[in-house]
Structures are given as C-alpha cells and as structure tokens.
Chains A and B, each alone.
Chain A
Amino acid sequence: MSEHIVSRKIYFSVFGALLCLTALTTFIAFQDLGPFNIVVALAIALVKASLVVLFFMHVKYSSRLTKLIIFAGVFWFFIMVSFTFADYYTRGWITHPHP
C-alpha cells in the first residue's frame, strides 16, 4: 500500500474552485433568497469542505478505513444534532399537536 501522490494540477484547480466558491457564497449572502439563503450557504460550505477533505487531505485516494472513520465522525455529529433537536421540536406536542 504505497501512497498516492496528487499532482500539482489538481491542487491548483481545487484551490481555484475554493476561492471562487468563497466569492460566490459571499455574493449570494447579499441576495434575498428567502429561506434558501442558509441552505445555499451551507451547501456551498459543504462542497468546499468536501474538496479540501477529498483532495488536500487525500481522502479520495485513502483506504476504506479512513473513509469509514470520517463517516463515523460526521454521522455521530448528526446523531447528536438530530436527537437533541427531536426533543426541542416536539416539546409542546403533547397537548396541542403541531400545526
């Protein structure tokens, strides 16, 4: 299992994409998309983060184990968020069901 060397071309294209996306997210923040502002902002952040993780951190070329570990981290974060939110968003339900 020898390591994979990522070419400089890939690094520079990822770098370019990251800068563009940063500009894009700032630009979009000043447009009114109603409730979608936050969705778009998070989506862009997610794309940027994935680019960094996949290429700069070489995960695209890493073992299944590495991918599993990252997945576990993210998944556990979602467990924490979803169960906690499940409490907060159902608190009033027992007597007046949610509209």
Chain B
Amino acid sequence: MSIASPPTDHRERVRTNYLNHSYGVKSWLLTRDHKRIALLYLASVSFFFLLGGVFALLIRLNLLTPAGDLFSADNYNKLFTMHGIVMVFFFLIPGIPAVLGNFLIPIMIGAKDLAFPRLNLASWYIYILGALFTLYAILSGGVDTGWTFYTPYSTTFSNTYVTAAGLGIFITGFSSILTGLNFIVTIHTMRAPGMTWFRLPLFIWSLYATSIIFILGTPVLAITVALLAIERTFHVGIFDPALGGDPVLFQHLFWFYSHPAVYIMVLPGMGVISELIANMSKKNIFGYKFVAFSSIAIAVFGFLVWGHHMFVSGQSVYAGMIFSFLSYAVAIPSAVKVFNWTATLYKGSISWQTPMLYAIAFIGLFMIGGMTGLFVAALGVDVHVTDTYFIVAHFHYVMVGVTLMAYLGGLHFWWPKITGRLYPELWAKIAALIIFVGFNLTFFPQFLLGYLGMPRRYHMYPPEFQVLHVLSTAGASILGIGVLIPMVYLIWSMRYGKIAPPNPWGAAGLEWRTSSPPPVENFLETPHVTWEAYEFAPREELEIIGKVSVDDRAG
C-alpha cells in the first residue's frame, strides 16, 4: 500500500468537496466536473423514469378490462409508444452510464476528470435538447408508431408527431456517441500510474464494452431515423414500398442498432453487479478475466444477432437461422458471468445490506429474463410468441428486473459517496422487497399471456385473458409504490441522512479511498496503484489517498 506524505492542510482542503465548493445555478449548469454532470443526468433521467412510469401505469389501468374502456385506441397506441421511447432512449440507455458511469469512471481509474469535460457537459445539453423535441412531440399530441418506428406505417400512414420524436432520438443519439467516445478515451489515456487494464474494476470493463456499442451502433440509428424523417417529409426514399423501397431494410437498420442497444442497457448493469457482489462479500471476483472479457464478447457478438427480431418479417429463413445461431452464441458469455458471480460468493463474508439484496435479485431475475431470451431465439418457438406478451415479459424481465435492479442497487451502494450521506437501511430493505414482489407479479403473468397468444400493443383483448391482465395490473401498482419509496427516502437522506464515512462498506476500489463526497479533483494527489482489483484489506489499511490515518476523517 502506498502511503503518501500528508499535505499540510488536508483537513481544510477535504472539507470543500465537489458539492459545496461553489454555489448557484450557474455553477451547476456550466460545470465541467464529471460528478456534477452525473447529478444533472440523475435528475433528468429520474424525471423521464417517472414520466415513463406514469405511462406504464396508464397502460396497465387500461388493460384491466377486455374492452379497454379507459382510453381510445389511438390514445392507447400513443401511450405504449411514448412509454417505450421515453424508457428506452431517455431513461435506460443513459441511465447507468451517464449517471453512475460519469460519476465513477474517473474516480475508479484515479483520474481528475473525463478526458473531455466540456464535451461531457455538451452531451448533457444535447440529451436535453433531444428530450425537448420528444417532449414537444408528446405534448403536442404524441406519437403512435411503437418505439420501433416500423415503416411504412411511420413514413406514410401515421398522422402523429413522428418527425419530432424521430429528431429527438436523432439528437439524443449524439449525446450517447459523445459519452461513449469520452469514456473510451478516458479509459485508454487517463488511468492513474499503476492502474493496469487488469487492475480495473469490472464496472469499467463493462462501460468500456458499452461504449464500443455506443460508438459503432448509435450512428446507424441516427442516420436511419434521419432518413425516415426525410421520407416522411418529402415522400421520397427507400423504405416505403410505394416509393420503391423495402420496409424490411428499415427493420435491419433499426435492429442493427437496437439489438446492441439492449446490451447497452444490460452491460453497465452487469458491471454494477460485479462491484456489488465483490464488495458486499469482500471477495475478489471469481475468474476476473473471464468476466472482463465476456463483457467485450457480448458487445462484439451482440452486433451479429439483430435479425432475431425479424424471424417472421419476411426475412430469408436462412438468414433467420444464422441469426438464431449467433443469438445462442452471445448467450454464453452471459452465462459465464452468472456462474462466476455465484462462485464469487463461495466462502465470502456476505453482507445483508440493501445493495446485496438487489444483486441477488438481479441474478435471479436475469436467469429468467435471459433464459426466456433463449426461448425467443429458438426459431420454432419465436414464430408463435413473437409480438405477443411473451416478448413484453422477456424484455421487462431483462430491462426492469435486471437493469433497473442494478441501477437501484448501484445507486444505494454509491449513494454515500455521491451525497456524503447514508440512506435509511430499513426503508431500503422494505422497498427492495416490495419492488421484487411487485415486479414478478406484474410481469410473470405476461409470459403466460404471451404463450396463450395475447398479442402485444393491443388496446383491447378477448375476455379469456382478463384474469392474467388483472394480476399484472395489480403487480404494477405494487411496483409503482415500491419505486416511489426509494425516491422519497433518498431525497430525504440528502438532508437528514447520517453523515457517511469515506468507506462505509469496507470496500476495495479507488472511489472508497477518497472522502465522501469527493473533492473537486477527486483525490488530493494522484494515486499510485500498487494493488490488484478487489484486494480487500482490513479497514485500517484502506486509507484515503493523501491522508495519514482513517480516524482523521473529513466532514
């Protein structure tokens, strides 16, 4: 362990941290500090989660009755479209990378900031600009194409604000691209001395893999929605068969991005879980290199499977076979991760605090969500279940059950670092339990519905499906309450929570070796890393970098 010579006035310096070293709206809106930008993202992403959640609750309410009495068909169609768009593009994709990633990457690798701080702030503004376009589309009447924007419905037949929503997604795409670029460059060039690739926390590896997808996938979506907007506006183009185009080409391009995008959503979550599992059980990750490289493998192979969304679309059956085969191939690295996480717990010292609960829930739900991915990757079964609630259940298991759990778990785990306050443990446990129960009650019945043949995007349905729909709606209300509780107590804790020590978990990792909340420059001096990832040590040895002893805490 490196023990640095103490700076003379460290107590003074640590007392100013990134939160209190300057005040005022301007100091936030013009900040270039990655930690503050992360908080800007946290606020905006949470807003969109609530918005998408409200849409979800309205969807579920409407489906209480077979006749769908609450909303007209058109309004229902707009609801699920806007729910999908908001949740995917404005909550889940930026979620973990732009909030936790932004906050943690520089600290975890021992840098002062991301490589391009101004670009980082610009990404947030671009995100907001895209969001404004989308909000405009929502407020002025909505969009009804489904989040998939399939042509020729979107180019020619829909009478809603497709162009505005498309522009919103086009613009937000650049925010993703710039964030990914920033992460890649940062991880390559800004690592502290001694922080070799294999000493990086696995969260960094997973974000590196995510950034690869941002970089290579997002431009494809951007230009595709741009072409769609042109086609819609000028009635000339390449997707509408009436103009000589092929609608299936749109599907290829859309999924070329959007399948990898589902790994954008899950990889950061897997990174978070690796951190939680290791730190909450004080064990190094079993098979570090396998977990690290499986992230990269998922990112790379994830680009080869997009056609599995198109098995019955009129795509060639042979192409369907290739895509099915590769979908199975990409499932293997995920399996490797699951087994390694499980093995990590063996002979650990497992804490029962909230982040660990989320981690366990994550793995269990990922089993179901991921394995049902294998159902739909099986050509013969997908023919039956595609475009039914089976798919809806599959992707909510992986997106809500997995990524949302990881996000919440991560938020709890790093909350003391981010805010300098502890959250109330009891409430957190209660909320985690409610969310888990509500979640399963919401989405498990949907698997059954789907196999029974209930198609998705249906505003009304044959009465025999009602029982399962009512169960699902009941679950959604529980889930809704469940996710509101953390929102309340986390906000409460910012003011009234107990003051957090620098390392409340006894965790390894550079972010725990600076004060909570960290100073503007993250560390009082550039760390020199001499230890491996997840090298746990008794508390006394895990010191703040640039300080002499642990008792001498700041704050």
A residues bordering B, Cβ < 8 Å? 65, 72-73, 76, 79-80, 83-84, 86-91, 93-94
Q: How far is the CA of A91 from the CA of B316 in the complex (A)?
A: 4
Q: How far is the CA of A63 from the CA of B314 in the complex (A)?
A: 45
Q: How far is the CA of A91 from the CA of B313 in the complex (A)?
A: 11
B316 touches A83 (CB 8 A): no
Min C-beta distance of B1 to chain A, whole Å = 31
A76 touches B252 (CB 8 A): no
A86 touches B318 (CB 8 A): yes
Q: How far is the CA of A74 from the CA of B216 in the complex (A)?
A: 10
B307 touches A83 (CB 8 A): yes
Supposing A76-B216, A79-B304, A80-B220 touch, asked if A87 and B188 sit within 8 A by C-beta, the answer is no
B304 touches A93 (CB 8 A): no
Q: Which residues of A contact B319 (CB under 8 A)?
A: 83, 86-87, 90
Q: Which residues of A contact B397 (CB under 8 A)?
A: none
Min C-beta distance of A98 to chain B, whole Å = 10
Q: Which residues of B contact A89 (CB under 8 A)?
A: 316
- B243 contacts the other chain (CB 8 A): no
Encode B285-328 as 1/0 by CB contact (under 8 A) with A.
00000000000000000011011000000111111001100000
Interface of A is mostly: helix
Encode B102-113 as 1/0 by CB contact (under 8 A) with A.
000000000000
- A-B contact list, 16 entries, CB within 8 Å: A73-B216, A76-B303, A79-B303, A80-B220, A83-B319, A83-B323, A86-B318, A86-B322, A87-B248, A87-B252, A87-B315, A87-B316, A89-B316, A91-B316, A93-B316, A94-B318
Q: How far is the CA of A91 from the CA of B306 in the complex (A)?
A: 17
Supposing A76-B216, A80-B256 touch, asked if A88 and B316 sit within 8 A by C-beta, the answer is yes
User: What residue of chain B has the Cβ atom nearest to residue A84's Cβ?
Assistant: B252
Q: How far is the CA of A50 from the CA of B318 in the complex (A)?
A: 35
Supposing A76-B303, A79-B303, A79-B304 touch, asked if A93 and B318 sit within 8 A by C-beta, the answer is yes
**Which residues 312-360 of B sit at the A interface, judged by CB distance below 8 A?**
314-319, 322-323
Q: Which residues of A contact B306 (CB under 8 A)?
A: 83
Supposing A80-B256, A93-B316, A93-B318 touch, asked if A87 and B216 sit within 8 A by C-beta, the answer is no
Q: Which residues of B contact A65 (CB under 8 A)?
A: 188
B317 touches A94 (CB 8 A): yes
Q: Which residues of A contact B304 (CB under 8 A)?
A: 79, 83
Q: Which residues of A contact B252 (CB under 8 A)?
A: 84, 87
User: What residue of chain A has the Cβ atom nearest to residue B303's Cβ?
Assistant: A79
Q: How far is the CA of A94 from the CA of B216 in the complex (A)?
A: 33
Min C-beta distance of A28 to chain B, whole Å = 29
**Which residues 178-234 of B sit at the A interface, judged by CB distance below 8 A?**
188, 216, 220
Min C-beta distance of B134 to chain A, whole Å = 26
Q: Which residues of B contact A84 (CB under 8 A)?
A: 249, 252
Q: How far is the CA of A67 from the CA of B353 in the complex (A)?
A: 46
Q: How far is the CA of A87 from the CA of B216 in the complex (A)?
A: 21
Min C-beta distance of B189 to chain A, whole Å = 10
B316 touches A90 (CB 8 A): yes
User: What residue of chain B has the Cβ atom nearest to residue A88's Cβ?
Assistant: B316
Min C-beta distance of A99 to chain B, whole Å = 16
Supposing A65-B188, A84-B252 touch, asked if A72 and B216 sit within 8 A by C-beta, the answer is yes
Min C-beta distance of B222 to chain A, whole Å = 14
Q: Which residues of A contact B256 (CB under 8 A)?
A: 80
Which 6 pairs show the lowest CB-CB distances between chains A and B?
A87-B319, A90-B316, A90-B318, A91-B316, A87-B316, A76-B216
Q: How far is the CA of A65 from the CA of B197 in the complex (A)?
A: 14
Which of A72, A83, A93: most chain B CB closer than 10 A?
A83
Min C-beta distance of B148 to chain A, whole Å = 17
Q: Which residues of B contact A93 (CB under 8 A)?
A: 316-318
Q: Which residues of B contact A83 (CB under 8 A)?
A: 304, 306-307, 319, 322-323
Q: How far is the CA of A80 from the CA of B256 in the complex (A)?
A: 7
Besides the contacts A83-B306, A84-B252, what 13 more A-B pairs have beta carbons closer than 8 Å? Answer: A73-B216, A76-B303, A80-B256, A83-B307, A83-B319, A86-B322, A87-B252, A87-B307, A87-B315, A89-B316, A90-B319, A93-B317, A94-B316
Q: How far is the CA of A44 from the CA of B121 in the complex (A)?
A: 42
Q: Which residues of B contact A86 (CB under 8 A)?
A: 316, 318-319, 322
Min C-beta distance of B317 to chain A, whole Å = 5
Min C-beta distance of A95 to chain B, whole Å = 10
Q: Which residues of A contact B323 (CB under 8 A)?
A: 83
User: What residue of chain B has the Cβ atom nearest to residue A92's Cβ?
Assistant: B316
Q: Which residues of A contact B314 (CB under 8 A)?
A: 91
User: What residue of chain A has the Cβ atom nearest to residue B252's Cβ?
Assistant: A84
Q: How far is the CA of A72 from the CA of B300 in the complex (A)?
A: 10
Min C-beta distance of A51 to chain B, whole Å = 25
Q: How far is the CA of A65 from the CA of B248 in the complex (A)?
A: 36
Q: How far is the CA of A72 from the CA of B217 in the complex (A)?
A: 12
Q: Which residues of A contact B216 (CB under 8 A)?
A: 72-73, 76
Q: How far is the CA of A73 from the CA of B307 in the complex (A)?
A: 21
Q: How far is the CA of A92 from the CA of B303 in the complex (A)?
A: 25
Min C-beta distance of B101 to chain A, whole Å = 21
